[in-house]
Amino acid sequence: MARNSTSEFKAVILAGGSGERFWPLSTPERPKQFLKVFGGESLIRQAVSRLKGLVEPENVFVVTSKSLLKATKRELPELPSANIVGEPMRRDTGAAIALSVGLCGGGTMGVFSSDQLVGDVKGFQAAVKKAVAVAAKQDKIVTLGIKPSAPSTAFGYVDPKTGRFVEKPDLAKAKAYLKKGFLWNAGMFIGRVDTFRSAFAAHAPDLLPLCGGVKMNRLSATYEPLPKISFDFAVMEALSREGGVDVVPGDFGWDDVGGYLAFDRYYPHDADGNVVDGDCTVVESSGSICVSKGPRVAVLGASDLVVVATKDAVLVVPKSKAGELKKIVAKG
């Protein structure tokens, strides 16, 4: 039976995550993709749901870490159990995507994240369909370039005219990139499986063995010697320099939910500009984010502060340092 290009399309959702940016709501045992604080359902559940109609469940793969395998399968019961694979150790996105190539085997594939938000699912699906069509007829990897909402220094950029990638800029450069029409590199890549395989062969031969498919009982031995390197750095940057990258622009309310400041984007504010979620009393404070999933929290006279409590742990950090949680999580 003939299948159209979309039905041959396979999707891989990368679901590693160390649980640092939303500590203590998220932890290494329950990282960001399991958070249910944005949009009601967990982020990974939303990542799978937004592929509905675009990819058959049997063509959706999830690459997570071995320690999260059980929790991930529990969260995504509609996927075939064998489609959810646990990496034995962290080797960054280079290895995870090479492993994905092996899982997909053939056809066209797309790589997505498990811990991002998309406001406009129809727009997302339209962009992916377009990228699949573009990728199917040429030997290039297509990246979804997100229309920037601000000159962010948190993302790498891609020039949609040339497919050239540039690293996370400082603010001045970011502003210049916006003027030039550069787009955010959101880490969503679409291409023919053989195109991915060739790209690994050319630019990251260390990782090529994974692209051929690995028996699960051999995974530890295969992973152990692999370099820790991102797919962007290992493959895409080199590929973009030689014209092997195409860009499909997207403007579908993409948000990487980078950290606690996301609460300011998705939660209502009180009269003093505070976000208050859970059993919190916030008095004589403004611009603070106070979240409790456990004990009662009282904040008095403390502005622009992030206070988050669970029954196990409490975080107190000024908004200006909310991106530096690594410093305390590492000490725990």
- Chain residues that interact with a copy of itself, rule: CB under 8 A: 23-24, 281, 283-284, 292, 294-302, 305, 307, 309-318, 320-321, 324-325, 327-329, 331-332
Min dist CB 27 to a copy of itself, Å, is 11
Residues in Cβ contact with 131 at an 8 Å cutoff, skipping those fewer than 6 apart: 110, 142, 144, 190, 248
Which is nearer to a copy of itself, 98 or 262 (by Cβ)?
262
Nearest to a copy of itself of 170, 312 (CB atom)? 312
State the Cα–Cα distance between residues 66 and 85, nearest whole angstrom. 8
Amino acid identity of residue 24, one-letter, is P
Determine whether 325 is exposed, middle or buried from the number of CB atoms within 10 Å of its CB (0-12, 13-18, 19+). Answer: buried
* CB closer to a copy of itself out of 149 and 320: 320
Question: What is the rounded distance in angstroms from the CA atom of residue 159 to the CA atom of residue 162?
Answer: 6
**Beta carbon of residue 321, minimum distance to a copy of itself (angstroms, whole number):** 4
Q: Looking at beta carbons only, is 24 or 250 nearer to a copy of itself?
A: 24
Residue closer to a copy of itself by CB (options 6, 303) is: 303
Least separation in angstroms between CB 167 and a copy of itself: 26
DSSP 319-331: GGGTT-THHHHTT
CB of 32 to a copy of itself, least distance (A): 17
Which residues, 6 or more positions from 66, have their beta carbon under 8 angstroms from its beta carbon?
86, 87, 88, 89
Closest CB to a copy of itself among residues 24, 145: 24
Angle between helices 193-203 and 92-104 (to 10 degrees): 140
H or E stretch including 171?
A: helix 171-180
Query: 2 or 300, CB closer to a copy of itself?
Result: 300
Q: How far is the CB of 280 from a copy of itself (least distance, A)?
A: 9
Closer residue to a copy of itself (CB): 11 or 322: 322
CA distance 291 to 299: 11
The CA-atom distances, in angstroms, between 242 and each of 15, 177, 189, 235 are 30, 21, 17, 11
- What is the smallest separation between the CB atom of 274 and a copy of itself, expressed in angstroms? 12
Minimum distance, C-beta of residue 292 to a copy of itself, in the bound complex (Å): 8
Q: How many CB atoms lie within 10 A of CB 74?
A: 9
List the one residue out of 144, 151, 114 whose CA is nearest residue 13: 114
- 145-179 burial, b at 16+ Cβ within 10 Å, e below that, comes to bbebeebbeebbbbbbeebbbbeebeeebbeebbe
C-beta of 76 vs 317, nearer to a copy of itself: 317
Which residues, in sequence order, are bridge partners of residue 185? 145
Tell me, what DSSP letter sits at residue 243?
T
Q: How far is the CB of 30 from a copy of itself (least distance, A)?
A: 15
Q: Least distance (Å) from a copy of itself to the CB of residue 152?
A: 21
